[in-house]
Structure 1
Amino acid sequence: MKKKTISRRNFVKESSLITGGVLIAPSMMMASPISKKENVLKLAVIGCGGRGTGATAQALKADHNVKLVAMSDAFKDRLDKAYTSLSKIFDSSKIDVPASRQFVGFGSYKKAIDEADVVILTTPPGFRPQHFEYAIAQGKHVFMEKPVATDVVGIKKVLKAAKAAKEKKLNVVVGLQRRYQKSYLAAYEKIKNGDIGKIVSGQVYWNSAGVWVRPRQEDWSEMQYQMRNWYYFNWLCGDHILEQHIHNIDVANWFIGEIPISAQGMGGRQVRTGKDHGEIFDHHFVEFEYPGGAVVSSQCRHQHGCFTKVAEHFQGTHGISSTKGKVHATLNSLDGNTIYDHNGENDPSPYQIEHDHLFQAIRNQRDYINNAEYGANSTMSAILGRMATYSGKQITWEQAMNSNYQIVPDEDSLSWDSLPPTICDDSGNYPIPTPGKTNFIIS
């Protein structure tokens, strides 16, 4: 697989600059001061696709005095579409984004972030570490979608920025919305209180029919094609085990209270095999082992006409728990008696709640939120699973985190004429990972 990599020497050098301490201007040491509740909070969105548009709408509803002042996207048509959609919902008291604050192209994120107090990061996830790092360096509060990276070097960058955010008292919310969902919170509290005993095993699922494909246009460069079809390229998306299934893996980490120590599994491309499906698999199965002895089986699939399920089940020494979607959270004893049954038909949207909590924390300047560490750990768990299915090997957390595995180039070096990290052959086929042959450099 043709990938751009970073040498271990350069990675160690760059890491030491961060961990050793870089001189930071005093104005960037803390969050921007917001002394009065009625002060306008200026908002910027980086990545204006469907999720960026939705997250921006939720942010604008979360606080009575927040205003969208800047937008950034690689593509002008996506920015224009998002601006038009939001303008139909909100008036000028909420949206003030003249052409001079509509930024387009690679590297445009910096200009938008500089305009704001709060930023929404919703580009393809490969760019997330670089955007998050810059936002925190500039003293901005952040909402960023999951996953927060697609490679190990990106994870390390996010963890360092998360530490800086904590020191600066910046609020960070990650779009793993189940952690803000009433049914999941209720189940978690019951599990934490010991109602089903110690979790010893579990099964987590994201089995569905798959997502969109955007046909290649003759006038697109290879970079434009991959950016339009970002879901099918690992440097941008990380495969669906990361982009979607991270939700269920995150629930396992959360409920168990640990992160995996190793993963082994299998996967491949059996149904979704066309040139327009890039380099990712259409099914993964992983066994995650946790420090306390629990083993969690993880399934995700993108295949039409098959069994579908998005849910989590855990078995404890005294009972079992099941969580699914917005409504369902049940706990039962081992003899079948109901311990708890949550009916969430009328529960508020967790997508809105996470923004409500972010802006409340910004306003009160006291109860700071920082989801970045668990967001990074759950992202890394899914990356570990992908590494295991692609290679067919058992890979430990320590091995992966000690590696220099990097597949994402610096965004500021990219243009529409740049070659992406993975390129197709003369027939238009991309190199596909092969278990037993594909290896990862483990140091």
Structure 2
Amino acid sequence: NIEDDHIFTGFDAYKKLLQTDVDIVILATPPGFRPEHFEAAINAKKHVFMEKPVAVDPVGCRRVMSAGEKAKQFGLAVVAGTQRRHARSYIETIKRIHDGAIGDVVAAYAYWCQGGLWVHEKRPEWSDMEWQIRNWLYFTWLSGDHIVEQHVHNIDVINWVMGTHPVRAFGMGGRQVRTAPKYGNIYDHFAIDFEYPNGVHMLSMCRQIDGCAHKVAEFVVGAKGKSNCSNRIWSDTEWRYQGPNPNPYVQEHVDLLASILKGEPQNETQNVAESTMTAIMGRESAYTGKVVTWDDMMKSNLSLAPKEYKFGPLPTPPVPMPGRPM
């Protein structure tokens, strides 16, 4: 049971929580709040588990990166909800890829294509702000759009395999099926061509439309073979991971606690922030119809946060239209 003096509500609830004697905080609000909450948690010298994505815009990503460096200085552990990095099957498969099992990677693919998710219709007693927070998936300022909120998992795996982030993105997307006002201002499909520093390209596809083919996967092709990144490698001989595979949603928390108890705090901030920024880079390419570079993102002043966190009127932002000023 949680005592009443440890239960807080409102936009400033996190400040009150951080004034208590808790050792670890879990950041699982809509992602638009993540940079502010993470920065405050690190300044309060708390260990952190934070859900992905860790931001919805470039300003937020850089804020998270900076706080992650401060966490290192404070000796704080930070683990993110990119649970594939805690799945033993992925860890062993990607280790083998890094050890040369398929040769140099020459192409990569990442997919999260599925049907629609939940949606909350607006109620008369809800203000615009309350409705958007309850229906947060469909507002870019809160979720980052589904390429950032969900597809970041697959993008993170390819970044892990490549050992770095892409340098540019050229993409497209749109809002073809989910067009009703209840779906806010996000898209329902994206297709992005990401290019890495060594010239290797990743095809990234994500879609949330009912009645279409489902595919949630990662795949890489090497000069000497190929792999699904998760448990299989095809080269001169086929290899399949057959060892124990604890639930990664549990293992990520086990790993966080173990790193704290060992005095060797794990810090995943930079990896998850770079993967989040990669997804944002792809989104912005699709939204604008332009090629967007990593340098563009690192210099961008784009912030999607409302001017004030206050319950009351908050117009739905327009749906981005490629080729038109935003």
1:425-440 mapped onto 2 (5 Å cutoff): 431-439=318-326
- TM-score under structure 1 normalisation? 0.72
CA RMSD of superposed structures (Å):
1.3
SS of aligned partner of 1:142: strand
Deviations 1:379-415 (A, max 9, x none): 00000010011111111100121111111147xx422
1:113 is displaced (CA, Å) by: 2.2
1:144 is displaced (CA, Å) by: 0.3
1:232 is displaced (CA, Å) by: 0.3
Tell me which residue corresponds to 2:250: 352
SS of aligned partner of 1:194: coil
The one-letter amino acid paired with 2:311 is W
1:28-427 mapped onto 2 (5 Å cutoff): 95=1, 97-115=2-20, 116-323=22-229, 329-333=231-235, 337-343=236-242, 347-365=245-263, 367-409=264-306, 413-417=308-312, 419-420=313-314, 423-424=315-316
SS of aligned partner of 2:281: helix
Kept after mapping to 2: 8 A contact 1:173/1:372: yes
The one-letter amino acid paired with 2:238 is I
SS of aligned partner of 2:65: helix
**Which stretches of structure 1, 4 residues or longer, exceed 6 Å deviation after superposition?**
none
SS of aligned partner of 1:184: helix
1:215 is displaced (CA, Å) by: 1.1
SS of aligned partner of 1:134: helix
1:141 is displaced (CA, Å) by: 0.3
Where relative contact order (Cα < 8 A, 6+ residues apart) is larger, the structure is 2
1:338 is displaced (CA, Å) by: 3.7
SS of aligned partner of 1:143: strand
- TM-score under structure 2 normalisation? 0.97
Tell me which residue corresponds to 1:54: none
**Percent identity of paired positions between Structure 1 and Structure 2:** 46
Structure 2 distance, partners of 1:277, 1:148, is 22
Structure 2 distance, partners of 1:176, 1:214, is 26
Structure 1 distance, partners of 2:187, 2:306, is 22
Kept after mapping to 2: 8 A contact 1:179/1:185: yes
Structure 1 distance, partners of 2:257, 2:18, is 17
SS of aligned partner of 2:142: coil
Deviations 1:48-86 (A, max 9, x none): xxxxxxxxxxxxxxxxxxxxxxxxxxxxxxxxxxxxxxx
Number of residue pairs matched by the alignment: 325
1:306 is displaced (CA, Å) by: 0.5
Structure 2 gaps of 5+ residues are: none
1:438 is displaced (CA, Å) by: 4.1
Structure 1 distance, partners of 2:321, 2:310, is 30
1:219 is displaced (CA, Å) by: 1.0
Kept after mapping to 2: 8 A contact 1:261/1:289: yes
Deviations 1:221-246 (A, max 9, x none): 10011011000001100000001000
Instruction: State which structure, 1 or 2, has the greater radius of gyration over its C-alpha atoms.
Output: 1
